[in-house]
């Protein structure tokens, strides 16, 4: 059967095996274009081929990134992200039209360009029993094991983007008891002596902007332009504490805490991990600027941090913070509602508390600087 653009189904599948047209056609109602116009486009712009592997994952990272609205995902994957350069998604098991060995051929063909492609890894990598618990395909009767494919493809990649909490730090599949001995990408590369740079873009799921922005940064300024923190995350997106930009921070400083999820106060005592979590969710917002976890009366559960979810569990327990916990004697939210709460007094107490907390923070910082652990009562 031929489409009204003269493309047979067989031709379509062949083209889609090695192109992003599949993503656009299947999910985004993007108009079909033929192989010739693709070739012409490729001559005009520099193409960055991408192989996207999925290991121990719920596919939520793919879903999140495909929801990118500004720029739209078809602009990211088909058009020029920045003038003169565009990403060419060659392999993505969930969205590509091709399947079986035809799909795998696209992956192998892309990998021939040594040092010329980006490898995106979504999900963690089981290693127990030589990784047999995560098979991503079959070729010539042989199972393709995620552990082997990641090890092989990362060796010659220009860079590896570990997308999501699982791929970056282990996430849910690597949480206790971790029966498959699942590991994050960086650990796999390090244990195999592979030095390809790894950029972690954590989150459960990651914000589409964090991925798209990282890719755009690589295209504009090269790998070196992506400044990362000590956990391998781009500082551009993960450089600030959630707590420092939270609209409820004033309530925290004044000691007004929500007792239940519908209260409009600070959610620290319900288990919010904002004070120990680094991301720009309060200012970037999710779903095209609609809201974010705390804004929706939920908790920040620290989904971008190493050790998530074990380190953040139980999710409704209070985060362990060392310098900014407000004093217990400040009035909780319940008193505010019962009528015994004096806003003027609370404001004054809040100011005092803020000064005290600030002073305590400076004191702690100084103590840390000097590597001393003595109480400050010495005079
Ligand atoms: S503890 Fe959570 S809710 Fe409270 S100010 Fe910090 S980030 Fe916001
Ligand atoms: S607010 Fe916290 S839990 Fe929610 S997405 Fe951001 S980092 Fe993850």
Atom of ligand 1 nearest to the CA of 267: 3
| Count of domains for the chain | 2
Catalytic sites, residue numbers: 58, 61, 166, 204, 243, 246, 266, 272, 281, 293, 300, 303
Q: What is the pLDDT of the chain when averaged over all its residues?
A: 79
By most ligand atoms within 8 Å of CB, the mutation choice from 250, 266, 321 for ligand 1 is 266
* Residues 174, 93 share a domain: yes
**DSSP one-letter string for 266-315:** B-GGGT--GGG-B--HHHH-BTTTTB-TGGGT-----TTSTTTTGGG-ST
Is 70 exceeded by the pLDDT of residue 137? yes
Q: Is the CB of 246 under 6 A from ligand 1?
A: yes
Question: What's the N-to-C CA distance of the chain in angstroms?
Answer: 89
Residues 71 and 137 placed together within one structural domain of the fold? yes
At 138 the pLDDT is 93
**229 lies in the same domain as 248:** no
Burial of 167 (0-12, 13-18, 19+ CB in 10 A): buried
The DSSP bridge pattern shows strands 80-82 and 85-92 to be antiparallel
pLDDT in the model for residue 370: 38
| Domain match, 118 and 184 both | yes
CATH code where residue 251 lies: 4.10.480.10
339 vs 66 pLDDT, higher one? 66
Rounded CA separation 318/301 (Å): 11
Q: Are residues 114 and 144 in the same domain?
A: yes
**What residues have CB less than 8 Å from 316, skipping those under 6 apart?**
270, 271, 299
pLDDT of 128: 98
Distance 288 CA to ligand 1 centre (A): 22
Q: Which comes out higher in pLDDT, residue 200 or 81?
A: 200
Domain edge (last residue) among 218, 236, 254: 236
Domain presence at residue 379: no
Rg (CA), the chain: 24
Boundary of a domain, candidates 193, 218, 236: 236
Residue 197 pLDDT exceeds 70: yes
Residue 301 contacts residue 308 (beta carbons within 8 Å): yes
Q: What is the pLDDT of residue 323?
A: 52
Establish whether residue 210 lines the binding site of ligand 2, counting it when its CB lies within 6 angstroms of any ligand atom. Answer: no
Whether the pLDDT of residue 9 is over 80: the answer is no
Q: Residue 309 has what pLDDT?
A: 97
Confirm or reject: Cβ of 312 under 6 Å from ligand 2. Answer: no
Whose structure tokens read 């983007």? 161
Q: Which domain holds residue 275?
A: 242-370
Cα distances from 233 to residues 99, 218, 269, 309, 326, in angstroms, run 33, 14, 28, 18, 29
Torsion sign, CA atoms 70, 75, 80, 86: positive
> What's the pLDDT band for 48 if we cut at 50, 70, 90?
confident
Closest ligand (CA of 293): 2
What is residue 143's predicted lDDT score, i.e. its pLDDT?
A: 96
What is the pLDDT, as a whole number, of residue 47? 83
Query: Would you say how long the chain is, in residues?
Result: 379
Distance from Cα 269 to the centre of ligand 1, integer Å: 9
Domain end (from 207, 236, 265): 236
The better pLDDT of the pair 135, 81 is held by 135
Tokens 């996430």 sit at which residue? Answer: 171
- pLDDT, one tens digit per residue, over 245-293 is 999 999 999 999 999 999 999 999 999 999 999 999 999 999 989 999 9
Question: 183 with 283, same domain?
Answer: no
- How far apart (Å, rounded) are the C-alpha atoms in residues 50 and 111? 9
Are 168 and 266 within one domain? no
Q: Are residues 47 and 176 in the same domain?
A: yes
Q: How confident is the model at residue 322 (pLDDT cuts 50, 70, 90)?
A: low
**Tokens at residue 104, please?**
């795998």
Q: From the CB of 211, is ligand 1 less than 6 Å away?
A: no
């Amino acid at each position: 059967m031929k489409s009204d653009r003269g493309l047979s189904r067989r031709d379509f599948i062949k083209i889609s095996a090695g192109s992003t047209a599949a993503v656009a056609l299947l999910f985004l109602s993007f108009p079909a274009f033929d192989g010739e116009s693709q070739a012409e486009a490729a001559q005009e712009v520099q193409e960055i081929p991408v192989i996207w592997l999925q290991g121990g994952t719920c596919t939520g990272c793919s879903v999140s990134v495909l929801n990118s609205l500004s720029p739209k995902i078809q602009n990211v994957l088909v058009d020029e992200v920045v003038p003169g350069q565009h990403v060419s998604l060659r392999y993505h098991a969930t969205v590509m039209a091709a399947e079986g060995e035809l799909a795998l051929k696209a992956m192998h063909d892309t990998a021939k360009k040594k040092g010329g492609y980006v490898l995106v890894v979504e999900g963690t990598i089981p290693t127990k029993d030589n990784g047999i618990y995560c098979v991503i395909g079959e070729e010539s009767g042989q199972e393709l094991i995620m552990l082997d494919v990641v090890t092989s493809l990362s060796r010659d990649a220009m860079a590896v983007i570990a997308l999501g909490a699982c791929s970056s730090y282990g996430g849910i599949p690597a949480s206790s008891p971790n029966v498959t001995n699942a590991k994050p990408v960086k650990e796999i590369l390090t244990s195999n002596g592979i030095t390809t740079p790894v950029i972690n873009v954590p989150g459960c799921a990651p914000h589409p902007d964090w991925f798209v922005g990282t890719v755009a940064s690589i295209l504009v300024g090269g790998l070196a332009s992506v400044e990362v923190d000590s956990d391998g995350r781009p500082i551009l997106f993960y450089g600030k504490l959630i707590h420092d930009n939270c609209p409820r921070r004033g309530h925290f400083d004044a000691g007004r805490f929500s007792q239940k999820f519908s209260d409009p106060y600070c959610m620290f005592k319900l288990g919010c991990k904002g004070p120990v979590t680094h991301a720009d969710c309060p200012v970037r917002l999710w779903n095209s600027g609609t809201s974010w976890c705390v804004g929706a009366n939920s908790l920040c559960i620290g989904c971008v941090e190493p050790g998530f979810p074990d380190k953040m569990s139980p999710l409704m327990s209070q985060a362990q913070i060392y310098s900014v916990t407000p004093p217990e004697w400040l009035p909780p939210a319940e008193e505010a509602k019962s009528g015994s709460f004096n806003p003027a007094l609370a404001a004054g107490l809040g100011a005092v508390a803020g000064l005290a907390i600030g002073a305590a923070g400076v004191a702690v910082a100084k103590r840390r600087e000097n590597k001393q652990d003595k109480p400050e009562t010495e005079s």
